[in-house]
Structure 1
């Protein structure tokens, strides 16, 4: 486990378990140490099922490839199944990442896929940096196959959520989900969507959104703990998923390069296709998580 610390932020990182950021804390001006990620002490990172805590990279595609199928309209192939619905969140979260660089508040992790039953061959780098502006995770994904392939990526943070937690974010539209989060269409928002007005995040029922046209900034405020978290992302990661099952103490806001289901669903890729990378081409993006006392 790597320990990073800088500018009042500290993080625990598990390179061998998907390069997972297992915990992220911030020391408030009054000396209180507050968790910025949902990270129960009794849970350790593992690679059998997606970890429901911390933050971890999704690649070479994010969210679901239904029926374990990747199809961008040009290339169609199967990938190994790791979920009852097919394949979820790609391969990075189930892989060991090599530590390429490390200092007190900075590390670079590398994951290369050079074999497998599908054509995906790639080099992924995850740069994690702590500083006065918070945690910044920069992801790069380079196609090392000998053919053009569809790629996508994202970061999957799990944020603490209390009864008074509010979420503020704006988007121009979203997918319409059917069974098992399979999209049946898209919808447009005239008012910025369900969280534009900074509502309390409802945890009584399951929440599931895959947004289109996000402006790149979200704010999570919890007055009872005196903490506000700002999540921001690069222009390449502007299709966030917001999800939480009923009755939990976390919420997920996941910046992605494409909407949920784009690897396999034509209706989704028409709204947000994967990036078709030629051999040697790279997809890159960053996510920032910063704390503020309120």
Structure 2
């Protein structure tokens, strides 16, 4: 595991090869430092799950019953963490990435998922790259996955950022519908947006558990921290037409201090493997690739 520092103008970031994680992203302005991501662990010792942001590859979130059927073949997954019964968020966030290129303001990482013994844990075999670059506007992440297996499979991409949360934090992110959540943290039904989860106009995050997927996103979002007069604009490429919002609670995490929330750009729905039309997942033949990007552009309002 290696830690990598990036520095450009007003911006600073720390990366880890463990999980391809973006541990921190900060803006320096007029003698002050503003953290744009919420860190909950130690980059030198903890996994990507406690970082500020980690990649979702070859797909994000969960698959119902840890399996799906494609072209008449049943594919299965095994749980990949100790505290969740599902194969969660793919492999990239749990694997060791390698440095391909590195400069003061840019780092290119790569990760390879090899064939499991008889496909026991996952049918996926692929190579992923993550390009992290600082520039005049902030930070841009570009994630690419290439199917290196011998069969066509559905792939998706996303990121899992953790953003600072206060009672005055507001989010704007367009959506047409959202998915209710079942008791096993899987999607229930597709519904119109309730008032508390309608972020088509700026709205504070709910003060309770939220773990829902949203669709009909135009790839633009804005987070405002009015206490610091700080604004973060999120711009995702056309691949990302959905997002997931997560707000924890103490019944799930006794250490939760209501100090972060997650806004996760995703190319596909949760459990898209088992939805009609694959709900945003893309079928990649052997050798084919999928690519998407996300820009984080902070500014003082």
**TM-score relative to the length of structure 1:** 0.90
Gap regions ≥5 residues in structure 1: none
Q: How much does 1:46 deviate?
A: 3.2
CA distance in 2, matches of 1:215, 1:177: 23
- Please state if 1:259 is matched with 2:269: yes
SS in 2 for 1:67: helix
Structure 2 unaligned residues grouped into runs of 5+: 250-256
Query: Could you say which residue in structure 2 is the equivalent of 1:293?
Result: 300
**Aligned 1:1-294 pairs, distance under 5 A:** 1-15=3-17, 17-28=18-29, 30-40=30-40, 42=42, 44=44, 46-47=46-47, 51-72=49-70, 75-83=73-81, 84-116=84-116, 117=119, 118-189=122-193, 194-202=198-206, 204-246=207-249, 247-263=257-273, 265-266=274-275, 269-270=276-277, 272-294=279-301
Q: Is the 8 A contact 2:237 2:293 kept in 1?
A: yes
Distance 1:170 1:102, change over 3 A: same
Q: Could you list the per-position Cα deviations for residues 179-212 of structure 1 after superposition, in whole angstroms to 9, with x for gaps in the alignment? A: 2222222124599x6112211222x211222011
User: Over residues 145-176 of structure 1, what are the superposed CA-to-partner deviations in whole Å (9 max), with x where a residue is unaligned?
Assistant: 11111111111110111111011111111112
Distance 1:74 1:38, change over 3 A: farther
| 1:67/1:87 contact within 8 Å kept | no
Structure 1 Cα separation of the partners of residues 171 and 73 of structure 2: 38
Per the alignment, in what secondary structure is the counterpart of residue 272 of structure 1? helix
RMSD of aligned residue pairs (Cα, Å): 2.1
> Offset of 1:225 from its aligned partner?
1.8
Aligned length: 286
User: Within 2, Cα distance between the matches of 1:120 and 1:79?
Assistant: 10
TM-score under structure 2 length normalisation: 0.88
Q: Equivalents in 2 of 1:61, 1:46: separation in Å?
A: 22
Say if 2:40 and 2:50, in contact at 8 Å, map to a contact too. no
